[in-house]
Amino acid sequence: MTGIAATHMQRSHGKGTLAVKRAAGRTRIDRLHQSGNAKIRVPGTHTDALEAVLINTSGGVTGGDTLSWTIESGPGTNAIISTQACERIYRSAGDTGRQNTAIRVESGATLFWLPQETILFDGGRFVRALEVDLADDARFVGLETLILGREAMGETVASGLYRDRWRIRRAGALVHAEDFRIDPEGEPCVTAAAVLGGNRVAATLVVATGDDAERLDLAVAKARDLLDGTAAGISRIGEGAGGRIVVRAAAPTSHALRKRLLPLLSLFLDGRPLPRTWSL
């Protein structure tokens, strides 16, 4: 009976599109479309930036589920995109859940991609792709955080699949590419010193602002001070159009890492408040 139920389990599929424009000195909705389990909410703010919250109403992702997000930031806009809650990747009966995100940031625009953590359950299978296209002078800050197993239950991830693919282009030229994969078989991967050294939470932050080397180096120095004492690495790669800052950080718990990430995010938010969904 269990096998039959799993085979015929209904899959969830969602697509959400948000396009923003600048009007009357503020960033406003230009187009919004949502279908299936993908929902978008835009709470009121007291700044010039538009804050959007992405919601997966199915409560998580299991094998065969799909999510697709499209974000388009028009010229001169400022937008902060977050999620309502952590995304949960449940144990799969064999199929793989997938999420694709396409972001376009036009001239003079700034976009902050700040979803909350993704929790990979033991046996979960999830493949995610992030494609970002930036104009010459656009600014992008993107964060993804992975939690391996349910902390409250002391769960470790001994089986499953997690793949995360990033591609960031500026004026059509590839400036950042990375592929992260965890595919454990039989042994909890968090115990491996070459993976996370016993930590169960890991975050990647990419700051692609097009700044010159001096400004990037100053930001790196401030970031290192903020993450002092954390298992983290911070690099400045290139400058100008291809310049970016890449931060990798790990911690034993999501609460511990979030406490260190909040001031780091504030550093790159240009004085704007953090999304309310990011409150501790």
What φ, ψ does residue 26 adopt, rounded to 5°?
Answer: -135, 165
Helix (H, G, I), strand (E, B) or coil at 165: strand
- What the block records as the tokens of 142 is 């993107």
Give the burial class of 246: count Cβ atoms within 10 A of its Cβ; 0-12 exposed, 13-18 middle, 19 or more buried. middle
Helix (H, G, I), strand (E, B) or coil at 186: coil
**CA–CA separation, 93 and 17 (whole Å):** 30
pLDDT of residue 1: 35
**CA–CA separation, 145 and 147 (whole Å):** 7
Tell me what percent of the residues of the chain surpass a pLDDT of 70: 92
- What the block records as the tokens of 194 is 């070459």
Q: Which residue has the tokens 């016993």?
A: 198
pTM reported for the whole predicted model:
0.92
Q: How far is CA 134 from the centre of its chain?
A: 17
Residue type, 186: G
**CA–CA separation, 251 and 228 (whole Å):** 13
Question: Which region among 45-49, 128-132, 159-163 has the lowest average model confidence (pLDDT)?
Answer: 45-49
Asked whether residue 3 carries a pLDDT value surpassing 90, the answer given is no
Beta strands in the chain (DSSP E): 13-23, 26-36, 38-41, 50-56, 66-73, 78-83, 87-89, 97-105, 110-113, 118-120, 125-134, 139-148, 161-170, 173-182, 201-208, 231-237, 244-251
**For residue 101, what are the β-bridge partners?**
69, 130
pLDDT 10s digits, 70-79: 999 999 999 9
pLDDT 10s digits, 213-252: 999 999 999 999 999 989 999 999 988 888 999 999 999 9
Mean pLDDT (the chain, rounded) = 90
Q: How many residues does the chain have?
A: 280
